Chains A and B, each alone.
Chain A
Amino acid sequence: METSRQSRTAVAWPWIGTAARLGLAAVWLVAGALKVGDPAASARAVNAYQLMPYDTAEVVGAVQPFLEIALGLLLLIGLSTRLTAAISALLMAVFIAGIASAWARGLRIDCGCFSSGGELAEGVGTAYGVDILRDLAFLALSGLLVWRPRTRLSLDGMLMGKL
């Protein structure tokens, strides 16, 4: 009994990991694609956090969407999943810290997570709590993949041989 349950989990894990990897890939691809077309707006979204001078925000705003798309593609094909998941986790931690700091300072901004964000429209409330919870969920997905990076349908799997 015990062994059959163990083997069942052993079979299930790579598939759970696969779902996490593809889910996280989708998150990055969508987040990047929604920002990549308008670097000026992306720069303003970063600038709205008031954490760095505008020149720096401009660079971050231009680079970030491309990094997000690249990270999404790498996760999609499953190349060096542990490393890409670790970078994802690091980025999520940075985003959470940024949102928390905007919240703590009483700024009224859109997080710019899945849009070019910036100042909120009139009458729209801030959603810092929801944003942070969502990013925590993404952080958990990343963490899962750092812990168990071997997944099905991945380039890693093809290169390394069977699990």
Chain B
Amino acid sequence: MSKGSKERAAKARQIVAEQKARERRRTVTLWTSVAVVVVLFIAGLIGYRTLGGQDDRTVTTPASAVDEGTAFAVGSGPVTVDIYEDFMCPACGNFESTTGPTLKQLADSGKITLRFHPVAILDRFSNGTRYSTRAAAAAAAAAEAGKFTEFHEVLFANRPEENTDGLTDAKILELASGIGLTSKTFTTAVNEGTYRTWVEKATETFAARGYTGTPTIVVNGERLTGPDDTVPDTALLTETIEKAAG
């Protein structure tokens, strides 16, 4: 073979090799892309299936709960005032200490039906003890024992700060016994967390209704906020209630 044809042959082999390498890269790209899409699809499916699992849990709804089993009512006046609260939420604590007494008075005097909706959206602020859920579940147990109002009051009077462990179940029981809540049913419900799944469900209902924060105050079905999306003050709330009463 001449020198020229040798070079041509070498060049041809090189071109073929390059083509093969390109081909291989294309095949690899195609199949790895397919693999990625399949993996992501399966991951998404696993996530989606966790949704179904939530509906399978057994929920013990307290018999005394009203409004699709999400609230505990005080009074029976013509205007409905719904309060969604988390027992760890500082703004709820403020609201309870400033506006709470007025609302209670309006409920006692038959002007409003006050409906408390305990929800748990701040579980991540209690160092893993899920205080919000435990407190709301205990409140449901207190409602079943006919002492919701008193228990609600004492929990807010002892509201733990965010990013602490919250009150222990033992402390919750101790506070409860201070208001005469000592029944075995109540104690068992707190210790066993009987109403915790109910709290999860009530919190989902809260979110499904389009509410995102606590306290959320709703007067006759309409959400009430102060200026700049703040919590309404006592004056604004009483004014709104009076208007709603006509």
| A99 touches B (CB below 8 Å) | no
For chain B, the bracket of interface size reads 35 or more
Within the complex, which residue of A43, A80, A116 is in contact with B207, where a contact is CB–CB below 8 Å?
A43
Q: Which residues of A contact B54 (CB under 8 A)?
A: 39-40
- Determine whether the beta carbon of B50 is less than 8 Å from that of A62: yes
Can you name the residue of chain B whose Cβ is closest to the Cβ of A54?
B208
Q: Which residues of A contact B91 (CB under 8 A)?
A: 122
| B210 touches A (CB below 8 Å) | yes
- Determine whether the beta carbon of B212 is less than 8 Å from that of A62: no
| A131 touches B (CB below 8 Å) | no
- Determine whether the beta carbon of B213 is less than 8 Å from that of A119: yes
Within the complex, which residue of B25, B42, B90, B124 is in contact with A115, where a contact is CB–CB below 8 Å?
B124
Q: Which residues of A contact B204 (CB under 8 A)?
A: 40, 43, 58
Q: Mark A137-163, 1 if CB is under 8 A from B, else 0.
A: 000000000000000000110011100
| A48 touches B (CB below 8 Å) | yes
- Determine whether the beta carbon of B121 is less than 8 Å from that of A122: no
| B172 touches A (CB below 8 Å) | no
- Determine whether the beta carbon of B89 is less than 8 Å from that of A159: no
Q: How far is the CA of A71 from the CA of B47 in the complex (A)?
A: 14
Which residues B200-214 have CB closer than 8 A to chain A? Answer: 200, 203-204, 207-210, 212-214
Q: A41-B123, A122-B90, A160-B24 are in contact. Are A62 and B47 (CB under 8 A)?
A: yes
| B29 touches A (CB below 8 Å) | yes
Nearest CB on B from A21, distance (A): 14
Which residues A1-49 have CB closer than 8 A to chain B? Answer: 38-41, 43-44, 47-48
- Determine whether the beta carbon of A66 is less than 8 Å from that of B214: no
What is the total number of residues of chain A having a CB less than 8 Å from a CB of chain B? 46
Within the complex, which residue of B36, B44, B47, B123 is in contact with A84, where a contact is CB–CB below 8 Å?
B36
Q: A39-B50, A59-B51, A160-B25 are in contact. Are A80 and B32 (CB under 8 A)?
A: yes
Nearest CB on B from A130, distance (A): 20
- Determine whether the beta carbon of A83 is less than 8 Å from that of B36: yes
Q: A55-B208, A66-B44 are in contact. Are A121 and B125 (CB under 8 A)?
A: yes
Can you name the residue of chain A whose Cβ is closest to the Cβ of B46?
A66
Within the complex, which residue of A50, A62, A74, A160 is in contact with B39, where a contact is CB–CB below 8 Å?
A74
- Determine whether the beta carbon of B207 is less than 8 Å from that of A64: no
Q: How far is the CA of A119 from the CA of B33 in the complex (A)?
A: 38
Q: How far is the CA of A41 from the CA of B204 in the complex (A)?
A: 9
| A87 touches B (CB below 8 Å) | yes
Which residues B29-43 have CB closer than 8 A to chain A? Answer: 29, 32-33, 35-36, 39-40, 42-43
- Determine whether the beta carbon of B214 is less than 8 Å from that of A119: yes
Nearest CB on B from A64, distance (A): 7
Which residues A68-107 have CB closer than 8 A to chain B? Answer: 69-71, 73-74, 79-80, 82-84, 87, 106
Q: How far is the CA of A121 from the CA of B203 in the complex (A)?
A: 17
Q: Which residues of B contact A84 (CB under 8 A)?
A: 36
Nearest CB on A from B54, distance (A): 7
- Which 4 A-B pairs have CB atoms at the shortest separation, nearest pair first? A70-B43, A66-B47, A80-B32, A119-B213
Instruction: Please report A residues at the B interface, Cβ cutoff 8 Å.
Output: 38-41, 43-44, 47-48, 50, 54-55, 57-59, 62-67, 69-71, 73-74, 79-80, 82-84, 87, 106, 108-109, 115-116, 118-119, 121-123, 155-156, 159-161
- Apart from A55-B208, A84-B36, A122-B162: 14 A-B pairs, beta carbons within 8 A: A38-B124, A39-B51, A40-B203, A41-B121, A54-B210, A66-B46, A80-B35, A82-B29, A87-B36, A87-B40, A106-B228, A108-B229, A118-B213, A156-B28
